Structure 1
Amino acid sequence: MINRLNTKLMHPRDQIALVIRRIYERGMTTTSGGNISLKDEEGNIWVTPSAVDKGSLRPSDIVCVKSNGSIIGKHKPSSEFPFHKAIYEARSDIKAVIHAHPPALVSFSIVRKIPNTNVISQAKHICGPIGYAKYELPGSKALGEVIAKEFAKGFKAVIMENHGTVLGGSDLSDAFQRFEALEFSARIILFGSNIGKPNYLSDEQINEWEKQVPSLMPEMDVVEHPSDEREKRNEIVKIVRRACRQGLMISSYGTVSMRWKGNDFLITPTDVPRWDMDIGDIVQIKNGKRESGKMPSRATWMHEEIYKKNPKVNSIIMTQSPYLMAFGVTNEYLNVRTIPESWIFLQDIASFEFGTHFKSQSESKIINNKSTAIIIQNDSVMITGDKLLQTFDYLEVAEFSAKSLVMGASLGEMVPINNEQVEELRKAFLE
């Protein structure tokens, strides 16, 4: 049974422990690095403790600094608490702050650059403009002042010179989505630079993407949830959470669907953090109508057309994974003739220009494409298959293949499996 992690209803100490664990397990901070705080309705600030292992932090370890300055908890507040407090004083709309040292953003901080979030479709909207704070001694009043000054300008994301990054949000989920999207943008810029030159979307292209609101399909009058439908809901949620844990999906982007009966299917919703998705969030699409009271993914129309025109496709995953997106932001050719498994499963990965996935392009070649995997430039990768677990496996294989190519780029020219070897694979596995 999958239960909803409704973070907004969790106690502040539980929210903080959950999010710092996600950050640590995804390799975006170290045992000793990073800190999180949350300001509650009474003005109290809940914050991670100083000198406590981030990999095993428990809710009982979280410290509360009361509005009157008194401290409740068995540990000292984080040594960086002064700049958390300074941010809250500078911005009344900020209710949560995340500070960490994720590798890609640290890379930008030590070369004195800010990542261009126009590299993927949704990041600019989520991250907003990004500030830059000059180096000051960690834990010092001066550091708090330079960071608060950037937040006072309206920024919710700030690169800290030779240090890391700090992000704020209206709640902890909002701050985490911003943190995750910014680090992801930095990673694909770095990975893309290993194999080519990253391309960026114009503001006009991003605005067009933002206009692609989910289709207001008519609502069903009656919704039924027989056992086979409920089983598929569970499968979808398990795969979404697995993808998040493995870094193959981030909070702000990812769509998964499964064919149910005929051309009816189930699909993930829009504007629900992928980490916290629940079976009750999944949207049923039946006879061209949506489950009442729910807003399906903005890509629902595309999934619907693919199911109609491709009877052998029974599941679809659209996501952003870092190494595949390195090819998705450079338009470099992803040659999957790396190892036999890659070619057998994928054979070829087609690439399409940004915008060909808009609903206004309903006759797009994407709909009729027979490739197992495709890349939509600066937007996503789409994987299709029969069983959902099989489709997820294809995603993993594609990502591993892309990772091998990105990592091997500095070693020399790739030598792929030759045509004769490919023909042997074709005869042995595909005929």
Structure 2
Amino acid sequence: MTRKIKLIHPRDQITTIISRIYKRGMTTTSGGNISVIDQNGDIWVTPSAIDKGSLRASDIICVKKDGTIIGKHKPSSEFPFHKAIYEARPDIKSVIHAHPPALVSFSIVRKIPNTNVISQAKHVCGPIGYAEYRLPGSEDLGEVIAAEFKKGYKAVIMENHGTVLGGSDLTDAFERFEALEFCARTILYGSQIGTPRYLTNEQLDDFQAQATGVLPEMETTSYLSDEVEKRLEICQIVQRSCQQGLMISSYGTVSMRWNENDFLITPTGINRWDIDLDDIVQVKEGKREAGKKPSRAAWIHQEIYNRNPEVNSIIMTQSPYLMAFGVTGSYLNVRTIPESWIFLQDIKTLKYGAHFRKNNNSDLVDNCATALIIENDSVIITGDKLLQTFDYLEVAEFSAKSIVLGNSLGEMVPINDNQVEDLRKKFLS
């Protein structure tokens, strides 16, 4: 994934990422730690026993290459294994350790999540290692974790403990962390309603290879005021989606129709949390804004706009409860509450590969429904105003969550046909 070149102090990098992790419920007040090693070999690390929900840059500790500690707190008690990873793998420049619930679930049953559950996850996460239990904070723990990293892993499940991930920078490590936890959640939620199905390595290779050549560039690009406003709206919805767990760093596409069939769309290869106005790509008359690469799914968005004049915005993303249905093939019956049926009415599921351009699948774009699930890949939500489309996404995810959670209580009793007809007459006539 493309890295934006920004001069950000390690202290600020760490506080930004730990805040995201904490607010998304992937660590606790006291749990987890992050570090970055700089060009001097100094390691910047979160402090021990300080609230992760309110960390400031001034709280971050620097452990100099000679062992000198600079800062007003003690470094994390898990600092030894951070140091051991950097010594074992000079290519690793950042480490994240946390106890996100789904990955801890795998940790305590001593299993590794199968990242073939979602199309791009294996590419983001790489192979997953497994470190046997050792006393937290001990040199022994550092040794067993470093031994896994020496094998080439950048993600390791820690037995009865959690997970640890490394990256070429902190953004890279966070993308890996977020994608792995997403896989774990999707597998867990899918197991509540059915049996998760996994993609073959050949299918994953097809996914990586299926993107066609980049659109030709425009010679000149105009930026009118209404176009700039739409860029801002897209950025705000992407940020909101990330904050609410409806999108992850490494996957998610948002677009808005701009002028006739021309549209604005999020780029490929840029971390979704960090997208700004200048990253959004204008696509006009089949050409892209010069110097930018639109999402690889741009052709899907183009075809939906071409064939569905009432659609003016599209969100293509992965959210864990919807994808629980996507990886099991279970039917998502949205007759849960009146709002869900009124907004969504029905959610179809297409087989994996329907979103490949070479297949030219008309079912994907013709008469596009409000929501559509592509097995083991994504959900596509369409609507008029972008906020409305985002609302549909939230309603769909909440509906899926209610069914997954309710499954442990008993069989779902949907709104019946007579009740649906009453809703149709009152709200859709």
TM-score by length of 1: 0.98
Match of 2:97 in 1: 99
How far, CA to CA, are the matches of 2:76 and 2:308 in structure 1?
55
Would you say 1:79 and 2:77 are equivalent positions?
Answer: yes
Mapping of residues 113-132 of structure 1, within 5 Å: 113-132=111-130
Q: 1:8 to 1:212 in 2, by over 3 A?
A: farther
Q: Which amino acid aligns with 2:306?
A: K
How far, CA to CA, are the matches of 1:365 and 1:21 in structure 2?
41
Q: Which amino acid aligns with 2:324?
A: A
Deviation per CA, 1:24-43: give whole Å up to 9, x if none.
Answer: 00000000000000001111
Match of 2:347 in 1: 349
Would you say 1:262 and 2:260 are equivalent positions?
Answer: yes
Match of 2:186 in 1: 188
Match of 1:321 in 2: 319
Would you say 1:9 and 2:2 are equivalent positions?
Answer: no
Q: Secondary structure at the match of 2:231?
A: helix
Match of 1:378 in 2: 376
How far, CA to CA, are the matches of 1:8 and 1:103 in structure 2?
32
How far, CA to CA, are the matches of 1:216 and 1:145 in structure 2?
45
Deviation per CA, 1:69-115: give whole Å up to 9, x if none.
Answer: 11111111000000000000000100000000000000000001000
Match of 2:394 in 1: 396
Q: Structure 1 residue 214: deviation in Å?
A: 5.5
Mapping of residues 180-329 of structure 1, within 5 Å: 180-213=178-211, 215-329=213-327
How far, CA to CA, are the matches of 2:356 and 2:121 in structure 1?
18
Further displaced range: 11-20 or 65-74: 65-74
Contact residue 214 and residue 295 of structure 1 kept, 8 A: no
Would you say 1:151 and 2:149 are equivalent positions?
Answer: yes
Deviation per CA, 1:309-340: give whole Å up to 9, x if none.
Answer: 00000000000001000001000000000000
Q: Which amino acid aligns with 2:410?
A: G
Pairwise CA RMSD of aligned residues?
Answer: 1.0
Would you say 1:166 and 2:164 are equivalent positions?
Answer: yes
Match of 1:65 in 2: 63
Contact residue 129 and residue 155 of structure 2 kept, 8 A: yes
Contact residue 7 and residue 15 of structure 1 kept, 8 A: no
How far, CA to CA, are the matches of 1:427 and 1:205 in structure 2?
44
Deviation per CA, 1:393-414: give whole Å up to 9, x if none.
Answer: 0000000000000000010010
Deviation per CA, 1:269-305: give whole Å up to 9, x if none.
Answer: 0010000011100000001100000000000011001
Contact residue 214 and residue 296 of structure 1 kept, 8 A: no
Q: Structure 1 residue 371: deviation in Å?
A: 1.3
Q: Structure 1 residue 369: deviation in Å?
A: 3.7
Contact residue 31 and residue 55 of structure 1 kept, 8 A: yes
Contact residue 215 and residue 298 of structure 1 kept, 8 A: no
Q: 1:334 to 1:411 in 2, by over 3 A?
A: same
How far, CA to CA, are the matches of 2:392 and 2:314 in structure 1?
11
Q: Secondary structure at the match of 2:129?
A: strand
Contact residue 265 and residue 294 of structure 2 kept, 8 A: yes
Q: Which amino acid aligns with 2:12?
A: D
Unaligned 5+ residue runs, structure 2?
Answer: none
Unaligned 5+ residue runs, structure 1?
Answer: none
How far, CA to CA, are the matches of 1:340 and 1:133 in structure 2?
48
Contact residue 7 and residue 173 of structure 1 kept, 8 A: no
Deviation per CA, 1:173-193: give whole Å up to 9, x if none.
Answer: 000000000000000000000
How far, CA to CA, are the matches of 2:368 and 2:56 in structure 1?
48
Q: Which amino acid aligns with 1:137?
A: L
Further displaced range: 62-71 or 358-367: 358-367
Structure 1 outlier segments of 4+, above 4 Å:
5-8
Q: Secondary structure at the match of 1:166?
A: strand
Contact residue 214 and residue 300 of structure 1 kept, 8 A: no
How far, CA to CA, are the matches of 2:4 and 2:11 in structure 1?
14
Q: Structure 1 residue 361: deviation in Å?
A: 1.6
Deviation per CA, 1:342-375: give whole Å up to 9, x if none.
Answer: 0000000000000000010224310114310000
Q: Structure 1 residue 6: deviation in Å?
A: 5.5
Equivalent of residue 29 in structure 1, options 27, 30, 40: 27
> How many residue pairs get matched?
427
Contact residue 259 and residue 265 of structure 1 kept, 8 A: yes
How far, CA to CA, are the matches of 1:339 and 1:410 in structure 2?
18
Match of 1:41 in 2: 39
Q: Secondary structure at the match of 1:298?
A: coil
Q: Structure 1 residue 216: deviation in Å?
A: 1.2
Identity of aligned residues (%): 74
Match of 1:417 in 2: 415
How far, CA to CA, are the matches of 1:386 and 1:230 in structure 2?
18
Deviation per CA, 1:173-218: give whole Å up to 9, x if none.
Answer: 0000000000000000000000000000000000000112354111
Match of 1:138 in 2: 136
Q: Structure 1 residue 379: deviation in Å?
A: 0.2
How far, CA to CA, are the matches of 2:257 and 2:399 in structure 1?
27
Q: Which amino acid aligns with 2:11?
A: R
